[in-house]
Structure 1
Amino acid sequence: MKSATFPPFFFFLLYLFILLISLYCILLLLFALYIHSLTCIYTAHSKPDGTPGIHKFTAMGLLDGRRIDYYDSESERKVPKQEWMRECLSAEYWGKGTQEQWLESLMNRMRQNDSVVHVLQGMRGCEGKMQPDGTLKFHRAMHTYAYDGHNLLSFDSKTKSWIAAIREAQLTMREWDSDQAMKERIKGYLENVCIKWKKQLQKARIYLVHIIFLSPAPPVVYVFAKKAKVETNLILTCLATGFYTKDIIVRIKRNGRVLAKDDGLMSSGGLPNGDDTFQRRDHVEILKSDLSTFICNVTHEATNISVKKLWGKELCCFSFVSFLSLD
């Protein structure tokens, strides 16, 4: 009695089925291991030294490492750093601010004054691990302080206890460890509220970015000139920014001829702006004495828009050249 035989095509289908199942399992595993984070980083200075951008207190929120909002003690208002953040949160949220209050008491405990600048830094947030069913599960909490660049205190949400990194922080550690209500609030925020915020912001970002802000956006085009290292030369730059999708065509023309790498043309290629749009910067070095007509021609196929910008004629007289639109 002959044993049953199967055609080669059967084994091909079986192999393909096993391969697809294996790939699916790998994707599920990778998806499950994908970590999302929501953190707030804040910095307090005992005495700002007048450096621009340095304030007595600053704070910023980060979603998956990307800055989403900012606050400082001078403006006393939260500012969205992503347009979708402005859309998904109320005006009441942006009017609120918070400041770290215990830097002065910390300096007193360390018997320090403000003759030199002291800096207190903090980070508070959570990480969630994406599950195969699309839910976000709490993974890890972060609540730490550093003082003058050295680790100071950290909170362990598992044991609901504070850990002092240096001897000077032990008194604060004992005081905070004795406040059970405060520790419960911190644990509740890190393991529950923070994760819920992360879910809401992630959903809002996915919806608003892909439905509203990632619809094709036209480029804004600037042209300018600046002095080159060689005294007799100028660098002409064409900047296209704020566009989506990434694909864009930028051409710099001299008397109608498109310049190429052989002419010294350099391009940054498409670069992210940090708000889900892109930019591209092309430049070429020319002689100041060159009286040719230079035009930047930008074409963005996603929006079917073409923009032309003309450099001014007297390039030798300007370090920054205004532009004319030929649209």
Structure 2
Amino acid sequence: MATGFYPPEIQIYIKRNSRILTKDDDVMSTGTRPNEDNTFQRRDSMEILRSDVAMYSCHVVHHPTGVNIIKVGVRSLFTSLIINQNKYRHSLTYIYTALSKDPKIPGIHEFTAMGILDSRVIDYFDSTTQVKTPKTHWMRERLEPEYWEKGTRSRKSKQQWFKVNLDILKERMNQTDDDIHVLQWRHGCEGVKKGNGLLEYSQGLDMYSYDGDDFLSFDDSSSVWVAPVKAAEQTKRKWDEVQVLKDYTKGYLEKECMDWLRKFLKYGENDRRTSKPPEVYVFANNARSKTNVVLNCMATGFYPPEIDIHIKRNSRILTEDDGVMSTGSRPNEDYTYQRRDSVVILRTDVAMYSCYVVHHSTGFEITKVWGEKFV
């Protein structure tokens, strides 16, 4: 969901791995709708299987203001992080995505790289800007210019590596340049806080995908590369023979990545400790049945994540038995959280529906009413 923007022209893409999903994939959109303050909002959505392990992201481009942002759902990388919202688990992941040629779509680049801390993008690089940049104020303030200069050189080097290997894979699979092909690399680590308060290594990730399908991954426990498809077996055999590569990969996941994870968590600690009240929005959009409408109540920008949201019909609080669904508290990019509760009602329902939100940590309390007619 994007909200608070003006003018109303905006582009939103939901991606599975690196493929842009469309209406053919059952992506639904509310279209751009007005807010009460003369700004606009838009929400795109789709249903997926809970067991789907692909990486899903949302790419939003608002050309008039220069906003170009990607938000990533990291459930596919370290599942427990999003589902359980366990405050004792943290992860650091880097995602590199390369296209075989320029797609000539505004906001979509031939090569992108980003660092993600607990599902928040903390640094970013693309083939257009050619500069690794911080995406949080504490990354900008705490890391020296030398870090960003070195990071830029590294990203440029990886961009060339991806270009070479895309050509190799296209040739191996007898593919032409008529279509756009995508090579993606994801690697990172997850740590768990123990009783002594120390963050210890839990699991690592080093995985390549090609054209949206898993291609090659590193098994940290046995220090071997795993090829789920025949086309990757040649690469697996070659990389398994390089002991230095396997030792480096294992060492990076278990040691170097964890060191950076601890450091970044410390840098962003103040952001996480500051209590912030939510902004609350109520809106409605079409349900799958033309006779129904979906009422949504969204709170965003709050910290800590504990919040109460109640949708009411007249004065009665609705529950799961009434069909109320909730996303639960999910992280934003700036260490705040968001949550959206919704319920499907008949368009002809003339009762008064309201949303009651309480954020106890900040003393925030508000009731917002859906004032429009749904017929």
TM range (shorter): 0.5 to 0.7
Q: 1:273 aligns with which of 330, 343, 357?
A: 330
C-alpha separation in 2, matches of 1:283 and 1:135 = 41
The answer as to 2:354 corresponding to 1:301 is no
The answer as to 2:176 corresponding to 1:116 is no
Instruction: Tell me if the contact between 2:303 and 2:337 (Cα under 8 Å) persists in the aligned partners.
Output: yes
Q: SS of the residue aligned with 2:267?
A: helix
TM-score by length of structure 1 reads: 0.57
Partner of 1:66: 119
CA RMSD of aligned residues (A): 5.0
Q: SS of the residue aligned with 1:308?
A: strand
Cα 1:121/1:307, change in 2 over 3 Å: same
C-alpha separation in 2, matches of 1:298 and 1:150 = 42
C-alpha separation in 2, matches of 1:232 and 1:141 = 47
Cα 1:78/1:105, change in 2 over 3 Å: closer
Q: 2:273 aligns with which of 208, 211, 214?
A: 211
C-alpha separation in 2, matches of 1:228 and 1:144 = 37
The answer as to 2:284 corresponding to 1:225 is yes
C-alpha separation in 2, matches of 1:310 and 1:265 = 18
Partner of 1:30: none
Q: SS of the residue aligned with 1:167?
A: helix
C-alpha separation in 1, matches of 2:360 and 2:193 = 36
Partner of 2:23: none
Partner of 1:202: 265
Partner of 2:233: 166
| Count of residue pairs brought into register by the alignment | 268
Q: CA deviation at 1:46?
A: 0.8
Q: CA deviation at 1:36?
A: 6.3
Instruction: Tell me if the contact between 1:240 and 1:279 (Cα under 8 Å) persists in the aligned partners.
Output: yes
TM-score by length of structure 2 reads: 0.51
C-alpha separation in 1, matches of 2:202 and 2:357 = 46
Cα 1:270/1:71, change in 2 over 3 Å: same
Instruction: Tell me if the contact between 1:269 and 1:281 (Cα under 8 Å) persists in the aligned partners.
Output: yes
Q: SS of the residue aligned with 2:281?
A: strand
1:221-245 deviations in Å (ceiling 9; x for gaps): 1122334455455443332333334
Partner of 1:43: 97
Partner of 1:283: 343
C-alpha separation in 2, matches of 1:247 and 1:312 = 24
C-alpha separation in 2, matches of 1:72 and 1:103 = 13
Opposite residue 358 of structure 2, the aligned amino acid is T
Identity %: 35
Unaligned runs of 5+ in 2: 1-87
Q: CA deviation at 1:45?
A: 1.3
Larger helix fraction of residues: 1
C-alpha separation in 2, matches of 1:250 and 1:42 = 40
Instruction: Tell me if the contact between 1:122 and 1:145 (Cα under 8 Å) persists in the aligned partners.
Output: yes
The answer as to 2:291 corresponding to 1:239 is no
Opposite residue 73 of structure 1, the aligned amino acid is S
Q: CA deviation at 1:258?
A: 0.8
Q: 1:102 aligns with which of 120, 145, 161?
A: 161
Unaligned runs of 5+ in 1: 1-33, 317-327
Q: 1:252 aligns with which of 287, 312, 315?
A: 312
Cα 1:91/1:277, change in 2 over 3 Å: farther
C-alpha separation in 1, matches of 2:192 and 2:361 = 35
Instruction: Tell me if the contact between 1:242 and 1:279 (Cα under 8 Å) persists in the aligned partners.
Output: no
